[in-house]
Structure 1
Amino acid sequence: MINSLWIAKTGMSAQQTQLDVISHNLANVSTTGYKRNNAVFEDLIYQNLRQVGANATEQNQLPTGLHLGLGVRTVATSRNFVQGSLQESKNSLDVAINGNGFFEVTMPDGTIGYTRDGSFQLDAQGRMVTSNGMPVNNGITVPNGATKVMIGPDGAVTAIVPPATAPQPLGNLAMATFVNPAGLEPIGQNLFRESAASGQPQQGTPGTNGLGFIKQGFLETSNVNVVEELVTMIQAQRAYEMNSKAIQTSDQMLAKLSQL
C-alpha cells in the first residue's frame, strides 16, 4: 500500500514535467525556427517477487512472474527537427533553410552557435548579424550605400553598390549539419551548441552534401502544432488527476486498515 503512494507521486511529477514541456512549446509557437520538444519517460526498477521461468515443481516452470513496478521518471526531452512552414517576409535580409542544416553564428565567447533562425539584420558596421547582434560566421559585411542585397540558393551574398551596376560578391553564408541534431545543446536565443552527442558539424555549401537550399525573403516558422499540444495537455491533465486519485484511494485504504 505504501508503494502505491510513491508510485502515484512519481506519476504526478512526470505529468508536471510533461505540462512544463507543453507550456514551453506553446510559448514558442511564434518563435522563428523553433523546434518542438517532447518529454520522454521510462518505467522505474521492478520488485522481482517471483521469477518468471522459475521451477514451480520438479517438472513444471512458472509461465509468468510477479514483478511490481515502482513508477516512472523523465529521462529526456527529445527535440523534433521537422521543418516548419516557410513564410514570406519580403525582407531581403531574411533567409530560411529549405531542408536540413543550420546557420553558423559567432557567439560573444568566440565559439560557434547554430540556429535555424534566419532573421538577420545589419549592425552599425554593416555586418550581417542575428537579432541579438551576433555576426554570422564568415564575416559578411554589406558596404555603405548598397542599394540591393541578394542571397542565392547556394548562400552566396552579393550587393549592388553604386555607381557600379554589377553585383559585388560579399561572401557566403556558413552552414552545417549534424549526424544527430537532437543531441545539440539548446542555449536560448534560438541557438544550439555542439555536444558530444550531436557529433562534429559537417560544413558545406547550401544545396550540397545533404544541406538544404537558402530562400531569401522567407522565414521558417515554428513547427509546433497548437491542436496537438492542446490534446497532449488534456491527456497530461487527466493523467495527473488519476494519479492524484490513486493517492487518495491509497490513503483511504490505509485509514480503513488502521481501524481494524
Structure 2
Amino acid sequence: MHGALSVAKTGMTAQDTNLKVISNNLANVSTVGFKKDNVVFEDLMYQVRRQPGAQTAEEAQLPSGLQIGLGVRTVGTQKLFSAGDMEVTGEPFDVAINGRGFLQVTLPNGDTAYTRNGQLHLNSDNQVVTPEGYLLEPELTLPNDVLSFSIGTDGIVTVTTPDSPQGTQIGQMQLADFVNPQGLQSQGQNLYIETASSGAPVVSNPGENGTAVLIQGSLENSNVNSVEELVDMITTQRAYEMNSKVISTADEMLSYVSQQL
C-alpha cells in the first residue's frame, strides 16, 4: 500500500475528531457555565532510514538524515477555563462565579461533583438544588416563610422572615478549587468529577485562597466564541479536503503504475 494513503487516513481521522469537538462547542454556545474544548494533536512515530549525524565518511556526517513521518493522532482535548461573559438576570437564585472555583454538588450515589452553572432552584423541601435537582454541598435549606433571600460575595446566605425582618444567616456557600482544573473529567449536565490529574479539591469560602467571589442575580455564560469556532471549522474542513486530495493523488499514482506495468 502506498505510504501516503495511511498517512492521509490519520489526517482525515484527526480532522474528523476536531470537527466533532468544534460542533460540541457550538452546540453549547448558550449553555450557562460551559467551557470550550480544544483538540491536542501529536505526530506519530518516524521511520528513520538514515540517522541524523551518521558518519558518511571519515570526516563527514549526515546533516539531517532521512526521517519519514507516519501521520498524526489526536492525543487529547483540553478544557479551557477562561471566564465567560457575565449576564445580569436579576433572579435571586442565579449565582455567577467571578473567578476560580466550582460549586460542589452531591450526586444521587453520594459522590461529589463540581459545576460552574449557578442556575439554582428550590425543591419541594425548600432545599437549594441544581437544575437537575442535585443538592448543593454544604446543603442550604430555606425557612418556609422566607420573604427574601440574598447571597453575599463571600457566600454567606441571609434570609428575612416575618419573625426576623432584619435578616438571619442560614448558611455559607463554599467553592472548590483545583491545582489543575483541566484534569477534571466532564460528566455532562454541566458537571465535573475529580481525577488523579486534577488533584484533590481545596474547599474555601468565596474570596479566600484565590477563589472567586459570588455575584447574585447574574450568570456566567459559555466562553465559546462562535466566530472563532466558525473560523476553526473552515480551517478543519480545508485540512480534511487536503488529506482527501492526498488519497486521490496516491490512488492515481498507483493506478498509473498498474496500467504501465
Q: Is TM more than 0.5 here?
A: yes
Letter in 1 for 2:43: D
Aligned to 2:68: 68
Aligned to 1:94: 94
In the TM superposition, residue 171 of structure 1 has moved relative to its aligned partner by 0.6
Cα distance in structure 2, aligned partners of 1:8 and 1:78: 24
Gaps (5+ residues) in structure 1?
A: none
TM-score scaled by length of structure 2: 0.98
Aligned to 2:108: 108
In the TM superposition, residue 247 of structure 1 has moved relative to its aligned partner by 0.1
Gaps (5+ residues) in structure 2?
A: none
Letter in 1 for 2:15: Q
Cα distance in structure 2, aligned partners of 1:164 and 1:217: 23
Cα distance in structure 2, aligned partners of 1:106 and 1:89: 26
TM-score scaled by length of structure 1: 0.99
Aligned to 2:133: 133
Aligned to 2:43: 43
In the TM superposition, residue 138 of structure 1 has moved relative to its aligned partner by 1.0
In the TM superposition, residue 141 of structure 1 has moved relative to its aligned partner by 0.3
Q: Secondary structure, in 3 states, of the residue corresponding to 2:60?
A: coil
Aligned to 1:231: 231
Q: How does 1:159-198 map to 2 (within 5 A)?
A: 159-198=159-198
Runs (4+) off by over 2 Å:
none
Cα distance in structure 2, aligned partners of 1:233 and 1:206: 38
1:215 corresponds to 2:215: yes
1:124 corresponds to 2:119: no
Q: Structure 1 stretch 157-166 or stretch 146-155: which is displaced more?
A: 157-166
Cα distance in structure 1, aligned partners of 2:253 and 2:210: 60
Cα distance in structure 2, aligned partners of 1:173 and 1:212: 12
Q: How does 1:248-259 map to 2 (within 5 A)?
A: 248-259=248-259
String of CA shifts for 1:60-96, please: whole Å, max 9, x gaps: 1111110000000001010000010110011001001
Aligned to 2:245: 245
Aligned to 1:23: 23
* Greater share of residues in strand: 2
Q: Secondary structure, in 3 states, of the residue corresponding to 2:135?
A: coil
String of CA shifts for 1:81-137, please: whole Å, max 9, x gaps: 001011001100100111100000111111111000000000000000000000100
Q: Secondary structure, in 3 states, of the residue corresponding to 1:165?
A: strand
In the TM superposition, residue 163 of structure 1 has moved relative to its aligned partner by 2.8
**What is the alpha-carbon root mean square deviation over aligned residues?**
0.7
Q: Secondary structure, in 3 states, of the residue corresponding to 1:259?
A: helix
Cα distance in structure 2, aligned partners of 1:196 and 1:204: 20
Q: Secondary structure, in 3 states, of the residue corresponding to 1:104?
A: strand
Identity value in percent: 51
Contact conserved, 1:136 with 1:174, CA < 8 A, in 2? no
Q: Secondary structure, in 3 states, of the residue corresponding to 1:219?
A: strand
